[in-house]
Chain A
Amino acid sequence: MAPSTITRAHLTEAVYQEVGLSRNESADLVESVLSEMSDALVRGEMVKLSSFGSFSVRQKGPRMGRNPKSGEEVPILPRKVLVFRPSHVLKERINDDELGYSGGSEQAGRQPPGSSAAG
């Protein structure tokens, strides 16, 4: 099964199916969610979404870089970068489905045991 790419259209469809607004309005709301998040980040705010993750802006200092092709040194100016930290819930969801771990999460939430992964 080759991985596919989910876009705004898929999110719009999901909102349309789930909430029963028109497709147009669903699309507008998907866009509003993204633009509200972007605006907050541009203002320098952190965006925290429980059980998904948090986005924050980090200031990076200047440094010398190198053009990997020509070997030439190029200055990299100070800049801001966006950092996404996934929540534990998201990380667990991804590993549950991807590698088929079963159990364990309810008890301690520790890393899965190394030996007994059921096939």
Chain B
Amino acid sequence: MTKSELINTLAEQNPHLYLRDVERIVSTIFDEITEALSRGDRVELRGFGAFSIKRRGPRTGRNPRTGEAVHVEEKCVPYFKTGKELRERLNTTS
């Protein structure tokens, strides 16, 4: 499922909405999540999962081509933990 397929599905379920409104709704949701994470906030969506950021400390990496040591700055990476309900749904045998 891609973003446009998601938008089309929602548009079919909501025939009273314009496609462009559905597009705005979907992008607003993911923009909000992105903004929250970039502020360092956590996004918790019960039943679905939680997004947070994890800090990776500075380290000395290596250029895999030349073998040369390079300093890698501290950085943050987004992290997603699956919610309980979704985790259970993934594992129910159908």
Contacts and interface: CB of A to CB of B under 8 A. Distances in A.
Interface of A: 1, 3-8, 10-11, 14-15, 18-19, 21, 26, 29-30, 32-34, 36-38, 40-42, 45-53, 55, 57, 79-82, 84, 86, 90-91, 93-99, 111-112, 114, 117
Given A91-B77, A94-B34, 8 more contacts: A3-B41, A18-B25, A26-B25, A30-B29, A38-B86, A48-B1, A90-B37, A94-B77
Interface of B: 1-3, 6, 9-10, 13-14, 17, 21, 24-26, 28-34, 36-49, 51, 53, 70-80, 82, 86-87, 89-91
Given A50-B2, A90-B78, A117-B73, A29 B14 contact: yes
A95 B73 CA distance: 11
B78 A53 contact: yes
Contact of B41 (A6, A51, A84): A6
A40 B1 contact: yes
Contacts, number: 156
B87 A5 contact: no
Contacts of A94: 34, 37-38, 53, 76-78
Given A30-B29, A46-B1, A84-B80, A114 B34 contact: no
A97 B35 CA distance: 9
22 contacts: A3-B39, A5-B43, A6-B36, A6-B42, A18-B25, A33-B26, A34-B47, A36-B9, A40-B1, A50-B3, A52-B30, A79-B90, A81-B87, A82-B86, A84-B49, A84-B51, A84-B78, A90-B37, A91-B77, A94-B34, A98-B38, A98-B53
